[in-house]
Structure 1
Amino acid sequence: MKYFVITIFLVFIVLSIHVIPTFADDIAKNANTSYKAAAKYFAKGQYKEAITLYDKILKDYPNHSTVLKMKGVAQSNLGQHQKSMSDFYKIYQKNQKDITAMLGLGVGFGNYGEYVEAKKYFDQAYSTYPNNTVAKNYKEYADKVIKKYPYKPTEKPKNWSEKPTQTVFESYTSKVATKVTKDKRYIEYPNPSFDVIKKFLRDYERWNFEQQIKTGSSGFPDPKITLENGTYVLNYKIFVNAQPPGLPLDHVSTLNQSTKFWQDQIFTTPNGNAIIKFSHADSKSDANIWVTWTVRKLGEGVLGHAHIGKGVVEVALGDYNCDGSFQLYDVASVEKIMRHELGHAIGLGHSNNTQSIMYPSMSPNYAYCLLS
């Protein structure tokens, strides 16, 4: 039998980066041209170039929410938190139900270690959009860090009100930035995506099976086949690669849920019914399947790799397609990728049925990206 590497591909969903806003007047043509050019820079993570073009548009459309939103995200990704919060607050003043503005403000305050203020916006986002995974993750972050890192919040300006003006808000964020620098406050950042990729890249070979994917699966032992009560049982031993310590999301559970899914299936073969049983292997040499999670680029639009029938399973934890920077997928997306790739590892090919877990493409959701 030959063993092939099978991949699952990303469906490129239309994100805010690529949506052209409406500019309806005689200077709209130039604005649209600038926005399209900015989107290309943004998608590549070239935020400074994108911001230059957003500023050009904002000279003619100073309160355009979409442009302010994109500029705010770009500034946030550059670490320009005061500037990003200023733009998010302009949006928030116009629409207090704009989820990107709420989350952007929460992320900004979180990046300064002002956890109580961050929690205010995260709580509002979650209460307004209780089914939004990104809002849920940020709310959980705020609940955790407030207990973990007690601190003295920055005092509000004397002219602070329930709905402060833009000028008063900006004076407060300036005060926050100054105090954080002075206090040398330890900060746990709201979006852990960048820290995750750094952890994986510190010991690249340990967390990745890139070489084994290229080598092929011929050296892996075949699964043991037994007959139990008239049903064939394919017994697979799985070696689960370690992950860097302190990852923010529970990715190991995605494997547990995926193995359970396949063990619950009954397969029809010419010789009778068959089922799958998985067990844990302590060493690679005993395993029919090696499983790992990775942040390396698996290829353009590729979410995972797997050999057919036995061998290596690689599952991506995130990509650069949401906002030009590395962003983690949510747990549900990682589980879906894992389930698909594990299906290949037990011998299944792709399906033409769009509802099947073995359909060759999917659109992942993100755990922390403001543009999700």
Structure 2
Amino acid sequence: MIQNSIKLFMIFSLTSVLFVGSALAQDADDRTKLLAESQKPFLKGEYEKAIKIFDEMLEIYPTDSKIFEMKGVALSNLRLESTLAMQPQQNVSAGDPSNFNKLSMLEFYKALEINSNSVLALNGMGLGFGNFGEYSEAEQYFKKALEIDPDNEITQNYLYSLEKLMEKYSLNIFENPTKKPDFLQKIEEMTIPYWVKNNAGWWAEDKISDNDFIAGIEYLTKNKIISISSQNNKENSSDVIPSWIKNNAGWWSAGKISDEDFLSGIKYLIENSVIKVNAPTNSELVQKELERKAWNFEQYLKDIQNDVKNQNRYVENINPSEYVIIKYWKDYNKWNLEQYLNKPEIFPDRNVWLDPETDRYVIEYKVYINEQPLGLPIDHVSTLENSFNFWEKHSNLQANDGKKVDIKFDTTETKSEANVWVTWVVRNMGEGVLGHANLGKGIVEVAIGSYGCDGSFQLFGVDTVEYIMTHELGHSISLGHSTNPESIMYPSISNTDYAYCLLN
């Protein structure tokens, strides 16, 4: 028989399982050890300690884009007050958010110079420009990321956030972006950097060496302007570039051959080892151009900083997670019900009866849904209906006497008549803890975000919030934890989906 009142009430918690992501390699080498060492302070929000380790690693692995990405995330998060290391009780003073944002973007820039197809770095650049109120520029980076990974939910969420902001403030009319340096503007307007074409002309006139010309071609292959499918290694191939290629390069530089024709010809020559792209990539000419580009980009960011200050520019960040945590901190006791977790006796018993027509037990619950702050970016409250439906349609629940059980949830606006109070919270419930619930009746608390992705508070996606709520409601109807990893009542969740975390 199902007992109408349960004497033993327990608080059950759902925890998350942290897996080392793709940014952390699995090989047992020095790089992995250093990354593992950096992960500990990183996930605690102690980013300065993590950055010191990243700097040590970059001295050993100066072309590892992943390390630049991780350092960029750490610097970006240093500007936040919503990290584990910046929670109110820690009394840690904040640094200069604008400078941290600039420094993080410089790291993402370096990562993109190494790997132009890094979605994480493109998203990081988009986030950085958004943090400066350069929303149109941010949009361009997110769109680039989406071209590479069309299904990336993080990118999609940021683009949606941007669209809402641009619509809210009519930014298509009133946005006043900082002027981009002419040097950067010219580079963006040309698929092929102008210096590569200049190199071709100088090479045709014997003003630069073969290696300098090849360095420009390597730049095109590295940045996917020329896509090489394969390269044949001919044993008898010569290191001397045929003279007729020099003629073509001169004609191309002079505009007598189209970009498409010249590049398709170069592609054929590379794939058939007529041209060997194995000259050093740090050619003096290439290095100077890359340094010039990096200098212009940093100057661009400084100009943006000055405009933000001089224009007194209002900036609404495109990651709403930090705003959400402030909303919940302001009226802490309004949203959090932890003071009632150990008081299940104050809640009325659920209604249990036997349906004579079906010979099944019906357990009726009245649920009070706690008020939530206004203006939340993700509608997690509406998913509660899905959690109700999951248990109401669950056909395998069984009472002690073997009879089947049906669950029914009804909502009420009166706390005193509710068997269960449901709320969504933002607080540190304990390491890896995502929700709390009393067994049988009482409080259900579900986290809408956590610090488990990158040490800063990040909102969950709605599917994760719904999963946690469904699990905790299972405790409310007297179900304990399951040992089956496939069960909704398994005590841990291995796939927590974050809506805006760059490392998701």
Q: Give the TM-score taking structure 1 as reference length.
A: 0.92
2:11 is aligned, of 1, 5, 8, to 5
TM-fit CA distance, 1:332? 0.8
Conserved 8 A contact 2:65-2:112: no
More strand by share: 1
Conserved 8 A contact 1:63-1:90: no
1:121 aligns with 2:141: yes
2:178 is aligned, of 136, 154, 162, to 154
| Corresponding residue SS for 1:218 | helix
| Corresponding residue SS for 2:182 | coil
1:170 aligns with 2:298: yes
TM-fit CA distance, 1:168? 2.6
| Corresponding residue SS for 1:279 | strand
1:366 aligns with 2:498: yes
Q: 1:59 to 1:3 in 2, by over 3 A?
A: same
1:180 aligns with 2:200: no
2:398 is aligned, of 268, 271, 274, to 268
Partner of residue 62, structure 1: 62
In structure 2, the gaps of 5 or more residues are 1-5, 80-99, 194-292
Q: 1:233 to 1:195 in 2, by over 3 A?
A: same
In structure 1, the gaps of 5 or more residues are none
1:343 is aligned, of 471, 474, 484, to 474
Deviations 1:130-160 (A, max 9, x none): 3322122111111111222221222111112
Conserved 8 A contact 1:20-1:36: no
Q: Give, in whole Å, the separation in 2 of the partners of 1:166 and 1:254.
A: 46
Partner of residue 85, structure 2: none
Conserved 8 A contact 1:133-1:330: no
- The one-letter amino acid paired with 2:158 is Y
Q: Give the TM-score taking structure 2 as reference length.
A: 0.69
Q: 1:268 to 1:33 in 2, by over 3 A?
A: closer
1:210 aligns with 2:338: yes
- Larger CA deviation: 198-207 vs 126-135: 126-135
Q: 1:65 to 1:289 in 2, by over 3 A?
A: same
RMSD: 2.1
Deviations 1:280-328 (A, max 9, x none): 1112111010001111222222111111111110111122121111111
1:319 is aligned, of 450, 453, 462, to 450
Larger radius of gyration: 2
Q: Give, in whole Å, the separation in 1 of the partners of 2:149 and 2:333.
A: 40
| Corresponding residue SS for 2:162 | helix
Q: Give, in whole Å, the separation in 1 of the partners of 2:347 and 2:376.
A: 29
1:222 is aligned, of 345, 349, 362, to 349
Determine what percentage of the aligned residue pairs are the same residue: 45
1:309 aligns with 2:333: no
Conserved 8 A contact 2:63-2:114: no
TM-fit CA distance, 1:360? 1.1
Q: Give, in whole Å, the separation in 2 of the partners of 1:3 and 1:94.
A: 56
Q: 1:185 to 1:6 in 2, by over 3 A?
A: same
Q: 1:357 to 1:75 in 2, by over 3 A?
A: same
Give the paired residue count: 365
Conserved 8 A contact 1:126-1:139: no
Partner of residue 363, structure 2: 234
Partner of residue 73, structure 1: 73
After superposition, residues 90-105 of structure 1 pair within 5 angstroms as 90-105=110-125
TM-fit CA distance, 1:361? 0.7
Conserved 8 A contact 1:288-1:311: yes
Partner of residue 374, structure 2: 245
